[in-house]
Every structure is written in structure tokens, then in C-alpha cells.
Homo-oligomer: A and B are copies of this chain.
Amino acid sequence: MTDKPKREGRVLPAVVTVDLVIFTVRDDALHVLLIERGKEPFLGSLAIPGGHVRDNETLDEAAGRELSEETQIDSEQLHLEQLHSYGAPGRDPRGRVITVAYLALGPNLPTPMAGTDAKAAYWVPVDSVLSGHNKLAFDHADILGDALERARSKLEYTTVATAFCAEPFTVSELRRVYEVVWGFPLDPSNFRRKVTRAASFIEPTGERRIAETGRPAALYTRGKAQFLSPPLLRSIDATAAQGTTAPPVQQ
């Protein structure tokens, strides 16, 4: 609705941006793409990438454009969804800025070497940010926290975990995604039973991958299912678990 009279002069025209929390799994840890700010405010601070929405594009298109600018990856390859909007009056010292945050998930991506912007970009382990010595700019720590919880819960009842895997992938690689995002180990056998019996979660290719050691693993591609029913729940007592580094791998 937009038909309120602009009485009291309190109605605001605002700047609208999109910010992206881009997650990937590398080195058995969840990483987020951060940029180093090149200007005030928060010059030199780390921040999640983003940019202005242009006047001829939808919010989703703006997010997709920023994503490919930052990662130089075909944004079709990545999972991208709107997360939440943030618009507290003081969140940007320059004025009223409403940002629509997006969550992107992708397989181990190349380090983006200075994208279209001259900003330096890095993959940073998420838990090193959250246990944060170097604080993020603006309210980006809140956004990152919300994105992490969204990702964790989406792994429970959807099939998005496959977005973290480059095709083809093995069941162990998929399990490693769950372990790294949730922060605790899963039983390999029960996990295999769950994902292979779930309808259209993963599809066998018939191929096998010869590992350096151990039995060759069967390869799979993403199935067409979007949801996991019944869900794969984080165990109730493990809900308190925190940390996003590699969980203690059971030896």
C-alpha cells in the first residue's frame, strides 16, 4: 500500500540495496565471501558484498547481478534466495538505507580476484567471523547470523545441501556438507540410508570415483526434489551445538 498522505513530512524516500551472504564449503569448513571496504564509512572493515538496486531490475535480478559480479560464476549454478530485509534507521550513517539480504550457496568457488569493483574479496571461515575479532561493517554480523541459521534449517527439510556440491558428487561429500554447516558429525551409514532412499534427492550416475584410498564411491547428481519429507532433523540435544569448523571427525 502506498496511498498514505505524506503528512508530517515523515515519509521517507530511501536508498535500496541488496546484500549477499555467499556460503561455500572449502577445507572442511563453511566459508563466507567478504570484501574489504575501500571507502568510508567502515573503511578497511570487512563486509558482505552488495550494491544498489537499479531502476529497471527486480530485487532478484539485482541480487543475481551482484552475485555474478562478485563471484564471476554463472549465477544459474548457485542457489539464491531472499533472506530478510534490514532497515533500522541508524544502520547506515549516511542516511536511510534499506537492504534486502540474499543467501547464496555454491560449491567450492574460485577466490574472486578483484571483481568488477576494485575491492579485495576473500573467503573467510564463518566461525572465525562469528567468534569475531574483526567486526563486520554495518549490521552485517546480524545478517550473517540470520543467514547461517537459515542455511542450517534449510538443510533439514529441503535438498539445498546439494548446492554446495559440484556435480557429480559422492554421498560422503554431501554428508560433509551437513556436518560442516551444522557443526557436528553424522553417522555415515544412517545418513546414506536417508539420502539414498529419499525420493529424488540424489540420482546415481552409475559412475564411480577412485579415491586415493578406500573403496571407490558411487557418484550422484542432484535429483529434482526440492523438499525432504520427512525431514532430516538436527538431533534435539545437538541443537545447542555451535561452531562451523569441521566437526571432530570420528576416527
A-to-B contact residues, CB < 8 Å: 1-4, 6, 8, 10-17, 19, 35, 37-39, 47-59, 82, 84-89, 92, 94, 96-100, 117, 157, 229-231, 233, 236, 239
Contacts and interface: CB of A to CB of B under 8 A. Distances in A.
Which 3 pairs between the two chains have the least Cβ-Cβ distance?
Answer: A1-B50, A12-B55, A11-B52
Contact of A59 (B52, B87, B239): B87
Contact of A89 (B4, B56, B94, B233): B56
Given A229-B233, A236-B229, A15 B2 contact: yes
B88 A85 contact: no
A14 B13 contact: yes
B53 A3 contact: no
Nearest to A40: B3
Nearest to A153: B157
B85 A59 contact: yes
A8 to B, nearest CB: 8
Given A12-B54, A58-B88, A100-B85, A1 B48 contact: yes
Given A14-B15, A229-B233, 4 more contacts: A2-B92, A12-B55, A13-B14, A59-B98
Contact of A12 (B2, B3, B51, B53): B53
Contacts of A84: 82
Nearest to A9: B55
B53 A14 contact: yes
A91 B79 CA distance: 25
A52 B100 contact: no
A51 B4 contact: yes
Nearest to A97: B2
